[in-house]
């Protein structure tokens, strides 16, 4: 009796499965790919490459393969052959102070022959801390012939708004983006590096055609003024102009095209407001003689890292601007028409972590760093 009952039950189950299949409710086709990310123009997946990075901040691709990665507590490491190296020796003293520490890293345009690595960091000294830039020769796991080619003046004791990104242009000039160090008025001071883009020769000399070089009372290294805290910078692939983005206060994150001698307005004009209380900062959003951003975000996305995509792995994104965001842990894709943003898409929200840096690799894939105590290096690949 029990045997017949079991067989009847099995027959019922098989019959039900057959009916569901005939009705189209049951399919043998594979389900969605694990980790698949849908976007408007490409489906993609994120591939974790490395974990265990402590607040990674910047990266640079070595011509022989491998990626240099900076960690804010003061370590520089190489990711190669699917593993992270031990910390590279030879860095200077680095202050881990609030948002400061070891920040961006970049290679000299002739790195293949001279092996020069550049890095920005919070430097301790008289008066507190300030963003500095060093360069040294990479020899295996050692940095040699260290030079400090730039020091922000004056230093201060706050732990906020160090910047900073490092970008070489097509003529070999080095651009350094700086924050206002948490003191708004410094961004408008001619004799203060804070809140400015700095332009130097690769050895730290001041170019003779910098806009303020012969103006009494001005720092000759300054290329512009009026920024709050720039943590993204990239060269436009067609025009060669430097584009940057910066954190606003509560609202008012901006993208700007950097032009010599220009004043970008902070804190006189801004689309942001004071934290918590929402009161106005400065004189409003516009003022004659002060440059408007080409794009801004209200509410803030807390942007960090930026790249123009030029590769062939995501052909429908060519010429788009990709921006990492700490808030909501997302990636922003901006479509451009000249110097105008005509469309915006957001994806990866809360999937990987706080995106600190975004770069296109020499292989055409997109690489991301997440700013966490257990941060990671990820590669975005087409899903197909």
Residues designated as active site: 161
Question: Quick one: tokens of 361?
Answer: 């690799």
CA nearest to 50, candidates 382, 379, 380: 379
E strand map for 171-302: 174-177, 197-200, 230-235, 242-246, 253-258, 295-297
Contact (CB, 8 A) for 206 and 219: no
Contact (CB, 8 A) for 147 and 134: yes
Question: Quick one: tokens of 191?
Answer: 């004799």
CA nearest to 306, candidates 353, 347, 373, 246: 246
Question: Quick one: tokens of 308?
Answer: 């123009």
- Alpha-carbon distance of 163 to 201, in angstroms, equals 19
Please count the other Cβ atoms lying within 10 Å of the Cβ belonging to residue 211.
18
- What DSSP string runs through 287-315? -TTSPPPSEEESS---EEEEEE---SSSG
Contact (CB, 8 A) for 248 and 254: yes
Distances (CA, A) of 72 to 38, 59, 140, 188, 264: 32, 12, 21, 28, 28
CA nearest to 156, candidates 186, 188, 190, 120: 186
Report how far apart the first and last C-alpha atoms of the chain are (Å, whole number).
54
What's the Rg (C-alpha) of the chain?
Answer: 25
Question: Quick one: tokens of 228?
Answer: 């709050």
């Amino acid at each position: 009796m029990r045997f017949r009952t079991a067989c009847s039950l099995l027959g019922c189950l098989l019959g039900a499965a057959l009916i569901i299949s005939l009705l189209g409710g049951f399919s043998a086709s594979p389900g969605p790919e694990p980790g698949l990310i849908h976007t408007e123009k490409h489906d993609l997946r994120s591939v974790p490459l490395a974990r265990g990075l402590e607040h990674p901040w910047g990266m640079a691709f070595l011509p022989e393969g491998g990626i240099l990665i900076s960690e804010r507590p003061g370590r520089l490491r190489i990711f190669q052959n699917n593993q992270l190296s031990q910390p590279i020796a030879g860095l200077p003293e680095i202050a881990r102070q609030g948002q400061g520490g070891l920040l961006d890293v970049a290679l000299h345009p002739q790195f293949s022959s001279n092996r020069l690595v550049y890095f920005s960091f919070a430097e301790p000294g008289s008066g507190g801390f300030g963003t500095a830039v060093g360069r040294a020769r990479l020899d295996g796991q050692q940095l040699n012939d260290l030079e400090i080619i730039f020091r922000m003046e004056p230093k201060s004791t706050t732990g906020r708004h160090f910047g900073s990104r490092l970008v070489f242009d097509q003529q070999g000039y080095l651009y350094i983006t700086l924050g206002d160090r948490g003191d708004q008025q410094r961004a408008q001071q001619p004799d203060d590096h804070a809140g400015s883009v700095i332009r130097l020769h690769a050895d730290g000399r001041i170019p003779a055609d910098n806009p303020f070089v012969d103006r009494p009372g001005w720092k000759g290294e300054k290329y512009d003024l009026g920024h709050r805290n720039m943590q993204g910078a990239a060269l436009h692939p067609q025009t060669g102009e430097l584009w940057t983005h910066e954190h606003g206060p509560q609202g008012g994150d901006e993208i700007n095209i950097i032009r010599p001698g220009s004043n970008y307005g902070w804190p006189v004009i801004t689309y942001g407001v004071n934290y918590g209380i929402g009161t106005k900062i400065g004189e409003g959003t516009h003022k004659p003689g002060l440059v408007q951003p080409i794009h801004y975000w209200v509410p803030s996305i807390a942007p960090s890292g930026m790249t123009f995509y030029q590769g062939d792995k995501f052909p429908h994104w060519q010429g788009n601007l990709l921006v990492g965001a700490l808030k909501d842990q997302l990636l922003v894709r901006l479509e451009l028409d000249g110097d105008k943003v005509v469309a915006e898409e957001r994806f990866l929200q809360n999937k990987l972590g706080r995106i600190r840096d975004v770069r296109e690799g020499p292989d055409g894939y997109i690489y991301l760093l997440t700013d966490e105590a257990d941060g990671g290096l990820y590669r975005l690949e087409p899903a197909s």
